[in-house]
Each structure stands twice: as structure tokens, then as C-alpha cells.
């Protein structure tokens, strides 16, 4: 006989306990709105999953203003610019001077650790190692989902609202019927090879390099640990890459007449990160709402992913707060349209940065030269620099 499910009643059932799901849960709890977070992976796996590291000032404020431990301020590094490097030359952009804004370099897995700690501190109901198997009745006012915990016990969550915060392979997203949804996608003929290395910083600011050998990004994690990426084949096998091979590949992509060279050290993490542009429209169906990568993914160039997820959280949190305090679903009904405005701005920015900085292996020579013309246009004009700086540091939250 099928196991009887244990019933859990709550106001908001959140599927996915990454940064987006936990941030929403944290804000809801602070407003006295009961919620449960169900996450498939365990805490350790998420803490060790290396992702991007740039936070817009608004994302930092969402953490610090809501009382998440201030490690982002003590351990994060404020950056007031980037270096766009092409034709072997550096072109520094000073965000503070251009648009009076900065960003903070603070790894996404640390954001997760801080949010998970804040949820634990505040007795939040966050369950790791649990698999959601079914989502039911989202077209009614009593949506539900079922999950099994690590022991195999079956639960059924009865909520007023369900949120899909379950990442780019979202189970929640897949439950939306074909008749109501539209997907938009771009795939790219390359991926990023990401490394972590024990080495000193090679330059004060992050370097985004366009070179005939392909793109490279020189980022940082601390005084002694650096994060770097280079454009590679999506099917690249990390085991084929010795440390020497990685350093010579990275160095030839940042090389120039100024003799710039990277400071090297032992490499302790190597991963190939595939990427694509993707948007699901709408970001809601009945009483189910998608946030973050569950609803849209951007290529990593420009690090908009987590920032966009937090912007979704802000819009959805305000709509839920209004719904539970006034009973009016007006803001909830507008969530998808409002969130999608920013999503498409970020899609445009991420696509633009990606295509301007990467050279596909079989690039049409005209297109490769055109991208250099675009980089020259952006860096030689204050308006161009401001356009990039404003997008990179983040448009004001709505």
C-alpha cells in the first residue's frame, strides 16, 4: 500500500534552498510569514559549489539590511572598476567615477553559507537532502507539493503559495503546462574552464580579456586565493589540463606589449562551466512563482545570475507581503511582468558582454574584428564606459 504522506501546513512552500530560496525565506520569516524550504542537495555540496563572485551593492544591502551576518562586509572586497583588455592592452573602467557605484567580490557559496546560518539562527524550517516528487493544484488557492526526506519518509506541503527556486534544471518549472509557457534560449559554442589557485593577486581589479586565443577572466577570492576562467570547448575534460598547460593558456590570453604576466600557484579546483541564455515566460502559473535560475539563466560574463535572482526575490517578497497582509493578489499578479523587465535587461547585458569578449573557435574574421571595434567604441567614449558601468553595477531595483 502506498505510504500515507505526513501533512505540513505553511503559507509559502519554497522548492530550492540555494541563495534565492533562502533569501526569500529569510525575508518572509522576518515579516512573520511562515514558510518551509525544501532542498535536494546537502549543505556541504552547496557550500562547495563554486559559482560567480560579484554582488551588486543592492544585493549586499539585501543581506546586511535584513540582518544576515555581516561577513560580506568583513570578508568581501569592494571593487570600483574592471579592466577590459583587448589587443594586449588594458582599458581600466572606474565605476565610482563613471556612475558613482561599486560592486563587492564575495563568492556565491559564501552567500549561501551566510543565509543558511541566518535561517538556522532564526529557527527557519529548511530541509536539505529532500526530493520534491510532485507539485499539485497550483491552479487552485490550495497548492501542494510532495517530497521525500533522506529516510524516505513522504511529506505533503499544503501552502497558499509555492515558489520554484530550484535552479537551472528546475523541477517546478517543468510542471507548467505547455499551453501557458514560452521558452527563449540561446546556446553558445563555448564554455568556461574555471580554476581556483593558491596565488597572490595578479592585478588590483578583475581583468576581462578578449584575445585571438579566446576569452579569459582574471578574478579573485582573497589575498592568497584567486579565481580565473578561460573560454574552452563545452566538452573539454579537466583531466587533460595540467597546471602548466592551464597557465600557458591563461597567460597567452592576457599577454601584451606591456609584458603583463599572471602570478601563478598550485591549482586546487578545475571545473568546466557550460552556459546558455534562457528565459521562461511567464514566471508564474496560478499560485506557483519562479525565481532565479529556475526562471532564467544568463551566461556568466558580467556575473548577473545571483544579482538577478535577488532582484526577483525582492519583487516577489513585496508581492507576498502585500498578499498576506491585505489579501490582495494585485502585486502577485504583476510579479512576472515586473521581474521580466529586469531579466531581459540582464539578458541583453550578459549576451552583449559574452559576444563582445569571446571569439568562437571558427569565428568569422569579420565578426572577430567587429567585436574589437565594439570594445574600442565602448572604452574610447565616456558614454560607452558609463553604459557598461551602469549595467555591471546594477540598475536600481524596482
Does 304 qualify as catalytic in the annotation?
Answer: yes
Q: In what order do the strands lie in the sheet with 12-15?
A: 125-127, 35-38, 12-15, 161-164, 288-290, 284-285
**CB under 6 A: which stretch of 52-60, 114-122, 287-295, 356-364 binds ligand DHB?**
52-60
Separation CA 105–CA 244 (nearest Å): 27
Q: Which three cell numbers stand for residue 82?
A: 574592471
Site for ligand DHB in 278-307 (CB under 6 A): 300-303
Separation CA 320–CA 188 (nearest Å): 36
Does position 219 interact with ligand DHB (CB under 6 A)? The reply is yes
The smaller minimum CB distance to ligand DHB, of residues 175 and 359, is found at: 359
Among residues 20, 33, 54, 388, the one that binds ligand DHB under rule CB under 6 A: 54
Does position 52 interact with ligand DHB (CB under 6 A)? The reply is yes
Which of 106, 188, 208, 229 is catalytic? The answer is 208
CB 183 within 8 A of CB 301: no
CB of 114 to ligand DHB, least distance (A): 17
Site string for ligand DHB, 189-208 (x = CB under 6 A): -----------------x--
Contacts (Cβ under 8 Å, ≥6 apart) of 152: none
Sign of CA dihedral 368, 365, 299, 246: negative
The smaller minimum CB distance to ligand DHB, of residues 104 and 219, is found at: 219
Does position 167 interact with ligand DHB (CB under 6 A)? The reply is no
Q: Which three cell numbers stand for residue 330?
A: 494585485
CB of 309 to ligand DHB, least distance (A): 14
CB of 160 to ligand DHB, least distance (A): 36
CB of 394 to ligand DHB, least distance (A): 13
Measured CA distances, 160 to 144, 310, 323 (Å)? 8, 22, 10
Q: H helices of 175-304, where? A: 243-254
The smaller minimum CB distance to ligand DHB, of residues 52 and 162, is found at: 52
Instruction: Return the ∠ at Cα 264 (arms to 260 and 267), rounded to 5°.
Output: 140
Does 229 qualify as catalytic in the annotation?
Answer: no
CB 355 within 8 A of CB 373: no
CB of 291 to ligand DHB, least distance (A): 20
* Beta-strand relationship, 284-285 and 182-187: unpaired
**CB under 6 A: which stretch of 49-57, 148-156, 231-239, 258-266 binds ligand DHB?**
49-57
Separation CA 86–CA 258 (nearest Å): 12
DSSP annotation string for 116-163 = HHHHHHTT-EEE-S-EEEEEE-TTSSS-EEEEE-TT--EEEEE-SEEE
Does position 19 interact with ligand DHB (CB under 6 A)? The reply is no
Interface with ligand DHB: number of residues (CB under 6 A): 11
The smaller minimum CB distance to ligand DHB, of residues 68 and 206, is found at: 206
The residue to which cell 524550504 is assigned: 37
Separation CA 366–CA 338 (nearest Å): 38
**CB under 6 A: which stretch of 46-54, 63-71, 284-292, 366-374 binds ligand DHB?**
46-54
CB of 103 to ligand DHB, least distance (A): 9
Does 213 qualify as catalytic in the annotation?
Answer: no
Measured CA distances, 259 to 90, 104, 152, 315 (Å)? 11, 29, 59, 47
Which of 19, 26, 79, 299 is catalytic? The answer is 79
Site for ligand DHB in 220-279 (CB under 6 A): 227
Does 300 qualify as catalytic in the annotation?
Answer: yes
Does 208 qualify as catalytic in the annotation?
Answer: yes
Does position 53 interact with ligand DHB (CB under 6 A)? The reply is yes
Which of 229, 300, 314, 335 is catalytic? The answer is 300
In the complex, the residues that contact ligand DHB under the rule CB under 6 A are: 52-54, 206, 217, 219, 227, 300-303
Which residues are marked as active site? 79, 208, 300, 304, 392
Amino acid at each position: 500500500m502506498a505510504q500515507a504522506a505526513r501533512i505540513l501546513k505553511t503559507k509559502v512552500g519554497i522548492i530550492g534552498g540555494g541563495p534565492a530560496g533562502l533569501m526569500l525565506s529569510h525575508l518572509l520569516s522576518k515579516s512573520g510569514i511562515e514558510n518551509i524550504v525544501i532542498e535536494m542537495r546537502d549543505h556541504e555540496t552547496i557550500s562547495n559549489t563554486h559559482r560567480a563572485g560579484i554582488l551588486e551593492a543592492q544585493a549586499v544591502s539585501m543581506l546586511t539590511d535584513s540582518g544576515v551576518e555581516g561577513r560580506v562586509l568583513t570578508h568581501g572586497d569592494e571593487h570600483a572598476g574592471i579592466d577590459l583588455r583587448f589587443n594586449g592592452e588594458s582599458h581600466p573602467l572606474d565605476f565610482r567615477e563613471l556612475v558613482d557605484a561599486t560592486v563587492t567580490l564575495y563568492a556565491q557559496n559564501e552567500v549561501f553559507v551566510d543565509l543558511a546560518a541566518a535561517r538556522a539562527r532564526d529557527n527557519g524550517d529548511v530541509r536539505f537532502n529532500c526530493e520534491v516528487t510532485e507539485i499539485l493544484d497550483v491552479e487552485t488557492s490550495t497548492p501542494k507539493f510532495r517530497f521525500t526526506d533522506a529516510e524516505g519518509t513522504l511529506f505533503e506541503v499544503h501552502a497558499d503559495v509555492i515558489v520554484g527556486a530550484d535552479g537551472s534544471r528546475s523541477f517546478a518549472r517543468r510542471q507548467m503546462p505547455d499551453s501557458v509557457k514560452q521558452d527563449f534560449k540561446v546556446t553558445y559554442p563555448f564554455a568556461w574552464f574555471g580554476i581556483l589557485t593558491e596565488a597572490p593577486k595578479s592585478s588590483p581589479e578583475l581583468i576581462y580579456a578578449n584575445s585571438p586565443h579566446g576569452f579569459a577572466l582574471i578574478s579573485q577570492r582573497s589575498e592568497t586565493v584567486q579565481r580565473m576562467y578561460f573560454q574552452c570547448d563545452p566538452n573539454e575534460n579537466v583531466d587533460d589540463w595540467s597546471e602548466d598547460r592551464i597557465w600557458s593558456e591563461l597567460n597567452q590570453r592576457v599577454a601584451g606589449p606591456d609584458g603583463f604576466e599572471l602570478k601563478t600557484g598550485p591549482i586546487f579546483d578545475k571545473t568546466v562551466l557550460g552556459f546558455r541564455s534562457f528565459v521562461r515566460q511567464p514566471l508564474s502559473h496560478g499560485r506557483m512563482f519562479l525565481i532565479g535560475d529556475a526562471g532564467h539563466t544568463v551566461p556568466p560574463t558580467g556575473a548577473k545570475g545571483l544579482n538577478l535572482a535577488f532582484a526577483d526575490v525582492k519583487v516577489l517578497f513585496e508581492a507576498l507581503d502585500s498578499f498576506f497582509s491585505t489579501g490582495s493578489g494585485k502585486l502577485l499578479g504583476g510579479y512576472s511582468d515586473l521581474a521580466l523587465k529586469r531579466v531581459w535587461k540582464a539578458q541583453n547585458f550578459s549576451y552583449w558582454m559574452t559576444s563582445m569578449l569571446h571569439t568562437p573557435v571558427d569565428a568569422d574574421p569579420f565578426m572577430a574584428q567587429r567585436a574589437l571595434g565594439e570594445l574600442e567604441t565602448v572604452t574610447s567614449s565616456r558614454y560607452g564606459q558609463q553604459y557598461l558601468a551602469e549595467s555591471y553595477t546594477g540598475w536600481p531595483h524596482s
